[in-house]
Amino acid sequence: MTPALPIVLIAPLVMAALLALVPNWRLASWLNVGACAVTFAASLALFTAKPAATAMLVLDAFNVALIALTAFVGLTTAVFSAGYIGHEVASGTLNPLRLRFYHAMFQAFLFTLLLALSANNLGVLWVAIEGATLTTVLMVSLYRTAASIEAAWKYFILCGVGIALALFGTILIYLAAQPVMGPGLAAMTWTRLLADAARIEPNILNLAFVFLLIGYGTKVGLAPLHAWLPDAHAEGPTPISAVLSGLLLNVALYAVLRFKMLLAANGAALAPGPLLMVMGLSSLLLAALMLYRRRDIKRFFAYSSIEHMGIIAFAFGIGGPLANFAGLLHMAMHSLAKSAIFFAVGHAVQASGTQRIDGIRGLTVSHPALGWGLLAGVVAIAGLPPFGVFMSEFLLITSTFARQPWLGVLLVLGIAVAFGALVLRVQRLCFGAPTGGAPIHGTLLPLYAHLAVVLVAGVWLPAPLVAWFQAVAALLG
Amino acid sequence: MTLLFVALLALFALAVVGVAARRSPWVGTAVYGGTAAACGLIGLWAVEALVGRGGVAAAVLPIGLPWIGVHLRADGVSAFFLLVVALGGVTASLFGWGYERAHARALAHHAADHTHGESGPVLPFFPLFLAGMSLVLLANDAFSFLVSWEFMSLTSWLLVLSTHREPDTPDAARLYLVMAVLGTACLLLAFGLLVGTGGDYRFDAIRQHPPEAGAAALTVLLVVLGAGSKAGLVPLHVWLPLAHPAAPSHVSALMSGVMTKVAVYALVRVLFDLLGEPMWWWGGALMAAGAVTAVMGVLYALMQDDVKRLLACSTIENIGVIVIALGLALVFKASHTPVIAALALSAALLHVVNHSLFKSLLFFVAGAILTATGTRDLNRLGGLIHRMPTTAVLALIGAAAISALPPLNGFVGEWLLFQAILNAPALPEWSLKIGIAVVGAAVALAAALAAACFVRLYGIAFLGRPRSAEAGRAGEVGRAMLAGMAIPAALCVALGVLPTLVIRLFEPAVRAMVQAGPFDDRSYQPWIWLAPTSAIGNSYNGLILLAMIAALSVALVLAIHRWASDRVRRSIAWGCGHDGADPAALSQYSASSFAQPIRRAFGGTVFNARDRVDMPEPGDTRPARLTVRWTDPAWAFLFTPVRRAVNWLADHVDALQFLTIRSYLTLMFAALVVVLALVAVVRS
Amino acid sequence: MIAAVIHQVLHMVLVLALAPLLTGWIRLVKSRLVGRRGASVLQPYRDLARLLRKEVVLADNASWLFRSVPYVMFTAIWLAAGLVPVFTTDLALAPTGDLIALIALLGTARFFLALAGMDTGTSFGGIGSSREMMIAALAEPAMLMVVFSVAVLVRTTSLAEIAVYMMGGTVGLRVSLALALIALVMVAIAENARIPIDNPATHLELTMVHEAMVLEYSGRHLALIEGAAMLKLLLYAAVIACVFAPWGMATPTQGSLWIGLLSFLAKLATAGAALALFETSIAKMRVFRVGEFLGGALLLSLLGAIFLYVSRGV
Amino acid sequence: MIDIGYDAAHLLGALVLMTSFALLYQRRLFSLLNVFTVQALALSGAAAWQAYAHDEPHLYITALLTLTLKAIAIPVALHRIIQRLHIERTVEPALGIGLTMVAGVSLVTLSILLVLPVTENATALTREDLALSLSVVLLGLLMMISRRNAVSQVVGFMSIENGLILAAVGVAGMPLVVEMSIAFSVMVAFIIFGIFLFQIRERFETLDMRKIESFRGESD
């Protein structure tokens, strides 16, 4: 097995331990970046040499791209966070001790995500996601403000219960598989399960999927399980908001999809599609309406994340090659665009000293680079060309309307309502007489890197990526 | 198509230049010059394509949707509309160059007392906007079509926002983008229906398998909604009078004169080409929508006091006329009388190019007025004919042309349209025969009202005495702007005098859509005569008309000055004792008072318009004031309720943000139990 | 071809010569009807000549537009008149424009006159222009609907061909034609500023429409405008005659010019008398009732167009 | 003959379920903790028995872990907190006890209805075990919903966890049970000693969630 995959996993783990010991936060922030760079490089190496699946780890068409994406967003976020915390320290909101903790947790969080993505074992997957919850809960409460602790508490309680339900689902899967492939690891290994899926008792699978959907779905942020998401995004440090939206939601959804594959391969089990569609549509419509009354900029974009997770869930729910392809593309595009937006928001909030939307005005005038970047990000997330989100929404809407007209109309309605809110806000944020004039810390490179990728993807997708997505789309049924 | 690609790439490159070199003093010249050149290339290519080989050229690029690629194809229709875009692009760049320099100078001049501060960037988006429109016309698969369509909306939105310091721009821009996206959504759904589940988004594939009746009907509805919202069909027009004027004038010209035509192109492409054999009622529906739009549009225009808003509303009217012509063409195509269909379609296309010309011209005029006086409010203008003589002449041409006066181009379009309408008896359906008579009345009414509307515009703005100090101080604008106005003005005359040439030019487009030409089975067709086949023995000749008018009036002048007196005495006009006494010329008719008779005749019922006259007591010297209040039915009955509904929902859903953790847990628990119960039920 | 050109020239001269005569005739009949002796039918010629000799008094802020409008509108109307066959259908200009073009030419004249009314910047000009445009806004569609119903019947809008077809007598009596005729007459009354829409002889500004517009004109300009108005009146009479009573008119193939000429004079005389009778027997209506009057005309013409289909499947 | 293995496991499982009913029933925090201790003991007993009966030594670790952490450490810690904050007397159920009971019973029936039919081909013990643990999970959830006090919510959460571990040990030959239980315990520990002890207390000087929830999102 090539060293690439181990490096991807070990680098963050080691760095997490190491960073816990580094007292100098500036050094730590750059070590953080370095570690992420290593991870990203290794993840790119995965494209070339694809190791065979082991009992614990697997690398296939589904997760290879997501791993690279995760490593990339991790890297850019680390770069962003280096500048971000500089300002936080300067303004005295964070002390070095907490920063040590923060950096360690950042790496640990990346580790858990990468582990979850590359896990070939249901147990490992569960442990990884549980670890991700733990680390993020602690980082959300980093500021120690009442609001942040309340957010962390809510996050823990809801996602803890979710995780518990997911574990129960996992046990049920094992229970279903064990008669077929005997006790032991085999009955909890993706590759094996997928191979013998057809012989597994479908009824238990159904039951298990319900628990897994509700469980992991909580972390995806699907309505009505979404309540933790906005507050966690709003109260934590902005880099964490970026990775929460950009990575954690994707990984949780990834878990759900793996199980969906299992059901699809089984054949006799209930089709989970309608369930996903209902939850997706409700998330979409709920979030779309919620956007109108938000006053806190980070909470605003957190709700937009819920909206997009809804769209994605709907896409996988309706299924079929086109919709699944659209869903996968949308996952990637959303994580890039949304984290880019959070980068911009972080700078904007620091520049204007408030998180209230009313307090931020005319960014394109006061900070042109930042303002236009934010605008571009919102345009991208709103699904306007030439950005990648448009392609996925195009595929989704057209293919849906051809098959389920009414659902298509609902989908379009939700997207349009959300769009109205986005335009309303972004115009006020980016145009008009400017408010905050403070200079911004750190580089805008991460923001524009993400936007560039999203832009390119909107115009041209590399063939191997397409091939992977199509393969996975076929598996998702 | 190489030439075309070069031009398009140049446009994109110019956008980059506009960003990169934004500090350089020459950037404006470079970008606008380059854009003009690129548009010139596009125009040349289009003409060559039309004259040369019926204009079919195709290409596939390895980008866009992975398994489809970007399909581009230029047939006659695309080439024709490309020509319209190119014309608009050239003139708008020329005008915009001078316009922006003038405004930069004004800004530098009184930067101190200038309230608005510098405006947002225009340069990068201007060429992109043109490129987007051209790509819409070239796209030959659903994806690239919608990408370019939405790209067009996006860039124009940003162009509108370049004036974001103006008080009412943001709302206009927002409404615009939301309406644009709703329109795109409709088109998305329409293409979803056309493509089906196969996922083959190529237009060629759609052409091979046109949808069956039900789906086709739904598609028509969706396309009319989608393209109509962009073109400004009532009641989807509400954004148009707000957004078009908000942009800088040369952009307004492009949005009103050209972008709406791109929407018309979408209608033509889908209804005549992609949907295969039409049903007669499609055309009926189009005509109904067009008739309402035409009449309502011009009535809106008559209610406006803002020059640019007035022009935008008149765009609505013209779009209505074009849509009526399209509907006629569709009806005749459905009833298998292709030659008449060709006549109607020619009328539509001719009106497309006509309107793009005089509407650009008039928006340029509005821009010139804005530059010279700093206001767009009719009631603060007046007497400009003395201070902006050249502009006044060009504006007069524009006003006369849009009022469909012979021998200018506007009239030719109307003439062709009426010739097509007069063929109604050839139709089988009774409803249509009678309906078309009504539609004809609507067109006539709209035309007559349009004349009134532009007498009002020109008379108030250019004639009479200045109604404000700014208007009194105004001066003629620079050469570039004048040139930008002169080109379309000249073309308006040329097309009016020699319409047959241009109709011949776009005959390939007509042929491609209705498989016949307006002059078919006519053995000999002298090019100075306009005598379409199906215009039963009727003909029109603008050239002779113009010559006669010129000759007769010259003769008249000479004769009278030779035989009768030619003495002239200047004196003060009888102004009811107001002579010098009202410097603000308040005794003059104002824009509102001019529109009053028509408001009385129509406004009361349509807009429930109310005049309030505040007449001072005798002896009181303050001037009487006439205030007009009116409501737009489209807002009152459609948009305000929708907005209210969304707000109501938002208010009520918002409670979910503020629940306790326990209630959220309960939600989760409920979800779990419900789903479990569902599974149990489904299984048993 | 040569003949057509000669006819055309004769025609243009003829209409020019007859226009004041028609006006004079109407005035005479009117004054006789109200029991006055009245001025001679030649009075209009004298008036025009007098005006032509007078000097022009221009408002100080009148622009070049104000000075050129009289010539433009006069030629436009004259040209329009040149399109209407009166004694022969064999006219060189006939194919240059049909009824629609004719209506549009009249529109051009009106457009410029309305502008001229606003040029001096007095309130009366504004009143006149705005009222004139409102009247036109209703009159023009009515006129076009008349054209529509005639054209649907005759399958052409070229006046010459309409005349020929009507003389063929294959049309017979028709409801829709009757309606169209009534509508056309109403339009003609409105367009020529006759009672009950407007009073050509009024001196009370507030009730003026046409007169208010031209209030600032004097001398040769006024002469041209008056002349144009007379031409317009003649033109409408000619149109009605040509469409609804073309009998006696010569065609390229048959009929003699003299008969055509005499019949035309006869038609003019009757039309003038009828108009005078109508005007003496009715009172002027308020300006804001004009809308209803012309709306009625529009409806009648529309009905006419629709009745075509009802009466016999065309 | 009597299958002692089955009976013992059955007995312990049932005991866990009974205790979670008892948890629902408790009014006072201390008694709540005591009942929870009993549940933990029963659970570790079940794990140990499973380890012995099916000879899966790694389950002993689980048993031991449960015993030390849940039966001893956490209850003691919670006792401390309760005493320090003087909230001995406050356990006010949000729903009435009776209602809670009814809900609990219906949940148990639901879980039995769900589990039994789908597991025909599993062993009787597994089926029982699964049904029991599902009921325990649901009851734990119900408890979290029906209590306002942070301590009792944590207790509810931990009883959910107990239910899961019961299920895990019940299923024959399930791998990674230990790892999962460890991960879970770590989480709980982190939460309790991390957020819970220090932060909430230093911020609010209370454990009543109503106070904490006054800082709900967008209270600005």
The pLDDT of residue B579: 55
Q: What is the pLDDT of residues A418-434, one digit of tens each?
A: 999 999 999 999 998 88
D217 in a domain, yes or no?
no
pLDDT reported for residue D215: 47
Flag whether pLDDT at D219 surpasses 50.
no
Among chain D residues, CA nearest to B657: D217
**Are C122 and B536 an interchain contact pair (Cβ–Cβ within 8 Å)?**
no
Among B448, B557, B575, select the one facing C136 at the smallest CB separation: B448
Sort out which chain A residues have CB atoms less than 8 A from D121's CB and list them: 179, 201
What's the gap in Å between the CA of D195 and the closest CA on chain A? 8
SS3 (DSSP) at A121: strand
Report yes or no: B528 and B498 within 8 Å, Cβ to Cβ.
yes
Model pLDDT for residues A296-346, shown as the tens digit of each residue: 999 999 999 999 999 999 999 999 899 999 999 999 999 999 999 999 999
Reported as half-sphere exposure (CB side, CA atoms, 13 A), residue A74 has a value of 32
Given a cut of 80, whether residue D90 has pLDDT beyond it is: no
- Chain B contact for A91 (CB, 8 A cutoff): no
Higher pLDDT, B283 or A1: B283
- Total structural domains in chain B? 3
pLDDT at C165: 86
**Chains in contact with C via at least 3 Cβ–Cβ pairs below 8 Å:** B
Mean pLDDT, to the nearest integer, of B109-113?
56
- pLDDT, residue C120, reads 87
Cα A190 to Cα A6, A115, B533: the distances in Å are: 19, 14, 74
**Domain enclosing residue D32, as ranges:** 4-89+96-207
Q: Which of residues 384-423 of A touch B (CB under 8 A)?
A: 384-386, 390-391, 394-395, 397-403, 408-409, 412, 415-417, 419-420, 423
Compute CA distances C80 → A93, B203, D76, whole Å.
86, 50, 109
Distances in Å between the Cα of B72 and the Cα atoms of B48, B63, B80, B136 are 18, 12, 15, 9
Contact B120 A364 (CB under 8 A): yes
Could you list the residue range(s) of the whole structural domain that residue B615 is in?
A: 595-629
Total domain count, chain D? 1
> Is A213 part of any domain?
no
Distance between start and end Cα atoms, chain C: 34
Interval C274-286 mean pLDDT: 88
D212 in any annotated domain: no
The number of residues making up chain A comes to 477
DSSP result, B258-295: IIHHHHHHHHHIIIIIIT-SPPHHHHHHHHHHHHHHHH
Chain B contact for A455 (CB, 8 A cutoff): no
Interface probe, candidates A156, A222, A381, A394, chain B, greatest B C-beta count within 10 A: A394
Q: DSSP per residue over chain C, as a string?
A: -HHHHHHHHHHHHHHHHHHHHHHHHHHHHHHHHTT-----TTHHHHHHHHHHHSPEEEETT--HHHHHHHHHHHHHHHHHHHHS-SSBS--TTGGG--HHHHHHHHHHHHHHHHHHHHHT--HHHHHHHHHHHHHHHHHHHHHHHHHHHHHHHHS---HHHHHHHHHHT-S---HHHHHHHHHHHHHHHHHTT-TTT--TT---GGG-SHHHHTTT--HHHHHHHHHHHHHHHHHHHHHHHHHH--TT-B-SSS--HHHHHHHHHHHHHHHHHHHHHHHHTSPPPPGGGHHHHHHHHHHHHHHHHHHHHHHS--
- Residue A321, helix vs strand vs coil: helix
User: Which residues in chain C touch residue B567, judged by CB atoms under 8 angstroms apart?
Assistant: 55-56, 219
In a domain, B446, yes or no: yes
The per-residue pLDDT of chain B, averaged, comes to 90
Specify if B486 maps to a domain. yes
| B410 contact residues in C (CB cutoff 8 A) | none
Nearest CA in chain D to B667: D145
Task: Give me the pLDDT at residue A298, please.
Answer: 95
What are the chain D neighbours of B666 within 8 Å (beta carbons)?
145
Whether the per-residue pLDDT at D212 is higher than 60: the answer is: no
Q: Do D210 and B660 touch (CB under 8 A)?
A: yes
Asked if B683's CB is within 8 angstroms of D117's CB, the reply is yes
Q: How many CB pairs under 8 A join A and B?
A: 167
Of D142, D209, D218, the CB nearest to B657: D218
- Domain span at residue A410 reads 273-477
**Chains near A (3 or more Cβ pairs under 8 Å):** B, D
- Name which of B657, B667, B673, B678 to mutate to probe chain D: the one with the most chain D Cβ atoms within 10 A of its Cβ: B673
Per-residue pLDDT tens over the stretch A360-406: 999 998 999 999 999 999 999 999 989 999 999 999 999 999 889 99
Predicted structure pTM score: 0.94
Residue B400 Cα, gap to closest chain C Cα (Å): 8
Do B466 and B339 share a domain, yes or no?
yes
D209 — contact with chain B (CB < 8 Å)? yes
Q: Which of B382, B444, B459 sits opposite C115 (nearest CB)?
A: B459
Cβ atoms of A214 and A168 closer than 8 Å = no
Q: Considering its fold, how many domains does chain C have in total?
A: 1
**C40 contact B CB<8A:** no
Helix axes A96-118, A4-19, angle to 10 degrees: 160
> Is chain A in touch with chain B: ≥3 Cβ pairs within 8 A?
yes
Task: Give the rounded percent of residues in chain A with a pLDDT score beyond 70.
Answer: 99
Question: Does any domain span residue A316?
Answer: yes
Q: Is B450 in the C-facing interface, judged by CB distances under 8 Å?
A: no
Confidence at C201, pLDDT banded by 50, 70, 90: confident
D2 to chain A, minimum CA–CA distance in Å? 25
* Residue D122: strand, helix, or coil: coil
Residue with tokens 């340029």: B364
Residue D187: C-alpha distances to residues A160, C61, D182, D191 (Å)? 9, 90, 9, 6
Q: Quote the minimal CA–CA distance from C94 to chain B in Å.
A: 9
Give CB contacts under 8 A, 24+ apart, made by D203-206: D203/A144, D203/A146, D203/A149, D204/A146, D205/D85, D206/D85, D206/D87
Question: B667–A466: do the CB atoms touch at under 8 Å?
Answer: no
Candidates A289, A303, A410: best to mutate against B (most CBs of B within 10 A) is: A289
Asked if residue B333 and residue B420 are part of one domain, the reply reads yes
Decide if A421 is inside a domain.
yes
What distance in Å separates the CA atoms of residue B648 and residue A304, rounded to the nearest whole number? 20
| Cβ-defined contact of D220 to A183 (cutoff 8 Å) | no
Q: Identify the domain containing residue C103 by its residue range.
A: 2-311
The per-residue pLDDT for range B217-247, each reduced to its tens digit, is: 999 999 999 999 999 998 999 999 999 999 9
Given a contact cutoff of 8 angstroms between Cβ atoms, the answer to whether A320 and A403 are in contact is yes
Chain D residues near residue A218 by CB distance under 8 angstroms = none
Q: Closest-CA residue in chain B for C152?
A: B422
- CB–CB contact A292 B647 (8 Å): yes
Name the residue among C214, C208, C246, C244 with its Cα closest to residue C229.
C214
Could you tell me if residue B390 is inside a domain? Answer: yes
- Measured from the Cβ of residue C178, the count of other Cβ atoms closer than 10 Å reads 14
Residue B377, Ramachandran bin (φ over 0: left; ψ between -120 and 50: alpha; else beta) = beta
Task: Give chain A's domain count.
Answer: 1
- How far apart (Å, rounded) are the C-alpha atoms in residues A286 and B653? 7
**3-state secondary structure (DSSP) of residue B89:** helix
Site from D213, D218, D220 to mutate, B interface, most B CB atoms within 10 angstroms? D213
The tens digit of pLDDT for each residue in B398-423 reads 999 999 998 899 999 999 999 999 88
Which of B493, B594, B611 is the mutation pick for testing C, counting most C CBs within 10 A? B594
| Structural domain includes residue B7 | no
Q: Which run of H or of E encompasses A465?
A: helix A463-476
Exposure b/e, B158-182, CB count within 10 A at least 16 = b: bbbbbbbbeeebbebbbbbbbbbbb
For residue B512, give how far its alpha carbon lies from the nearest alpha carbon of chain D (Å). Answer: 60
Return the SS3 of B570.
strand
Do both B619 and B639 map to the same domain? no
Q: Mark yes or no for CB contact C137/B385 under 8 Å.
A: no
Q: Is residue B368 part of a domain?
A: yes
